[in-house]
Structure 1
Amino acid sequence: MKREFKFDFGTASAGAAEGYTKITADTVYDPTAGCGFVAGAGRVYAKDRGESAAALKRDFVIPLEAVFLVDVPDGTYQVTLMAGDDITETETTVKAGEGRLMVLKHRTSAGQYATHAFSVWVTDGKLRLAFSGLAPRVNAVEIAPRDTAVTLFLAGDSTVTDQPAEGWPYTGWGQMLPKWLKADVAVANYALSGRSSKSFISEGHLDKIWARMKPQDYLLIQFGHNDQKADEERHTDPFTTYKETLKLYIDGARSRQAVPVLVTSVQRRFFDAEGRLIDTHGDYLTAMRELAQEEGVPLVDLAEKSRRLFEELGPEETKKLFLWAVPGEYINHPNGVEDNTHFHELGGIRVAELVAESLKELGLQPLRMYLRF
């Protein structure tokens, strides 16, 4: 199966730039071709601004909530996107895979063309790019293997995982983390809803990470929300089985010459009468901080970072970060929702920023160089 692609998006009449494959608004994905827009997913239009413009700039597609698929072998790929328009300003958002945020509302002015490069972790044989925005443009896309990219593996629960599109704006912070990373890093988000540090291992999910991890990769570990649950499959005791289980992640990463990073559980949205955040994680936070000290493991104290942020915003403003909606506000939640644990996309972006800020503060090399700060 081919691993490198160069696509020129636009109109058939404009032809394809040399060395590129033409993709028009009518190029629908089918397994034989191995690339194209997903039928029924949004709308796609095409425009040609005329022969005076350079080959890749004269024409483009306007993908409105549209999804472009390319069949590729599993692995890490660098995607380079060109977006712009000779005569008007544009705004484009790009997500990859299961809603991982790569480019957020990037604007270009008339005559300006922006190039964005990012790395995508592919595990199902399909590289998926979803486009949206007020006035999105796609002029060209190049896809090439990036096997040397650092992989940032995520192990965690529903506050971290890639939430499916049918639940939007329900979002995990790991889903938004790529926005804060350069193309040298690919995020491999293995976090899953409802899992504890114990059940993540017993269900075989950690083994999937071990099978793909290479030296100099990183493993971010956030568990605690579900370790608190009473059922035998998930429950751990903070100062015994919780620490013992987390040590399996630490030792496994180190044995593969990768870097483990512990992440204290992000806070829930519960306030007391004075507007102070009520901690619901208790000894699990203390135990993880102790373990980081004992094992010499870098610690992202997301519990403390998120506490400060949520208290600064207060009870009302934090509703914008969490999955709060009135009936009819979002088509995926017609009856409304009041969720004090899980994030709205805006919250996922903000919490992901806290994680990226913390990684910068830790000074981990080479990861620190790959952060967009």
Structure 2
Amino acid sequence: MTDLYRFDFGVDEAEEGYTKITLNDRYSPSRTYGFVRADKISALNRGEGGTLRRDFIIPYEASFIVDVPDGIYTVTALLGDEHAATETTIKTGEGRLVVHKLRTGSGQYVRTSFSVWVTGGRLALVFGGLAPRLNALEISHTPQTCTIFLAGDSTVTEQPTDGYPYAGWGQMLPLFVKADAAVANYALSGRSSKSFIGEGHLDAIWSRIKPYDYLLVQFGHNDQKFDEARHTEPFTTYQETLMRYIHGARERNAFPVLLTPVHRRFYEDDGTLRDTHGDYATAVRELAGREGVPLVDLAAKSKELFERLGPEGTRSIFMQLAPGEFMNFPEGVNDNTHFQEHGAIQVAGLVKEGLQQLGLQPLMLYLR
């Protein structure tokens, strides 16, 4: 197993210790690294700028893939251009946002680092932005890096890239996390605290979590549903089920954190937000207080944000899409539960804020 990968992008000779990546280096299983979806990429050599900076690839809407064993990897990207201003966005896997509209001025270069939880044996970096540049990448295996595990529903999960701009807040949380920690998002659409366990997803977390990792738990939307597989009652079976997450984390010397469910977009006539979760949010607060579990009151935080923005302002938070606004939804969408990417970033920011306010050590040191 290789613990360190170094790639130099562009058209010039490779820097010592680096593998050169040119426009022609396309991914294949036998090659194990290279570009896919790369029909729009180009390369330039400025002839100046020093080591790793003279040449680069412009990876517009391209993915760079490296086959690696499952685990945690810290990625450092060198971005910049000797002659032009740049703006680069980087996502990993299914749209996890790790670098958002990072800008450099002409002649300015930035090294930005982030950690990635890799499953399926493939590290995929997806590049975008108005003027992306990619000079170099260093990818190192860092198995001891702290991991923030997420258990939750569709408001948290990673929505597929062909559903853009549909996104869960957990998909955007890596943007707010330094390279000292990785986010492992196990949340899944349609799950309740009960069905997440019944389908074996919590066992998957238990098989991978290590001491001093964190487990963030947000359910409630689907615990309200009345089918047998998902339904729980707030002050009995809901709390009892959440206790399995709490005890399981503590038994493994990891740290549980509870979150009240994020609000939906429904308003009363006076402009206040309608509480569609009722006792489920109250039950989480009560349980956290009784068991001494840190609590991010995302219900309270989202209520304040959504009431401040109002019915019109929250259209850009939720999947309130006009016909033709996004190519993946040509007929438009009228959804008051799920977020578009802009909104998921805002809600992930609320989660980050809540975690910082808890003052948990060392977690607060890992947050941007």
Alignment match, 1:21: 19
**Match of 1:97?**
93
Structure 1 residue 43: Cα displacement: 1.9
**Counterpart for residue 360 of structure 2:** 364
Distance 1:63 1:3 in 2: 25
Question: Secondary structure of 1:64's partner?
Answer: coil
Q: CA separation in 2, counterparts of 1:137 and 1:158? A: 33
Give 1:20 shift. 0.2
- Confirm whether residue 113 of structure 1 aligns to residue 109 of structure 2: yes
Question: Aligned ranges for residues 38-77 of structure 1 at < 5 Å?
Answer: 38=36, 40=37, 43-50=40-47, 52-77=48-73
1:4 alignment counterpart = 4
Match of residue 180 from structure 2: 184
Q: Out of 20, 28, 31, which is 2:29 matched to?
A: 31
Q: Could you tell me which amino acid in structure 1 is paired with residue 42 of structure 2?
A: Y
* Residue 225 in structure 1 maps to residue 218 in structure 2: no
- Residue 161 of structure 1 is matched in structure 2 by 157
Q: Helix, strand or coil: the match of 1:78?
A: strand
Q: 1:2: how far off?
A: 2.7
**Aligned-residue offset at 1:292:** 0.2
C-alpha offsets along residues 282-327 of structure 1, whole Å, 9 cap, x if unaligned?
Answer: 0001111110011000000000000000000000010001111111
TM-score by length of 1: 0.98
Note the C-alpha offset of 1:274: 1.1
C-alpha separation in 1, matches of 2:142 and 2:343: 30
| Per-residue deviation, residues 5-39 of structure 1 (Å, max 9, x unmatched) | 0000011xx1101000011122100111100011x
Distance between the aligned counterparts of 1:318 and 1:16, measured in 2?
Answer: 49
Secondary structure of 2:221's match? Answer: coil
Q: Deviations over 1:199-241 (max 9, x none)?
A: 0000000000000000000000000000000100000010100
Residue 237 of structure 2 is matched in structure 1 by 241
Misfit runs of 4+, over 6 Å: none
Larger CA deviation: 225-234 vs 24-33: 24-33
- Structure 1 gap ranges (5+): none
CA distance in 2, matches of 1:338, 1:9: 43
315, 320, 329: which one aligns with 1:319: 315
Contact kept, 8 Å, 1:42 with 1:63, in 2: the verdict is no
Offset at 1:42? 5.2
Count of aligned pairs between the two proteins: 368
Query: 1:3 Cα deviation (Å)?
Result: 3.4
Question: Is the aligned partner of 1:206 residue 2:163?
Answer: no
Q: Following the alignment from structure 2 to structure 1, what is the Cα–Cα distance between the partners of residues 175 and 322?
A: 28
* Percent of pairs with identical residues: 63
Looking at structure 2, the residues matched to 276 and 25 of structure 1 have their Cα atoms a distance apart, in angstroms, of 54
Over aligned residues, Cα RMSD in angstroms?
A: 0.8
Residue 86, structure 1, aligned to residue 79, structure 2: no
Summarize deviations over 1:144-178 as a string: whole Å, max 9, x none: 01112110000000000010001000000000001
List alignment gaps of at least 5 residues for structure 2.
none
Range 321-330 or range 245-254, more displaced: 321-330
* Aligned residue among 139, 148, 152 for 2:135: 139
Distance 2:222 2:40 in 1: 40
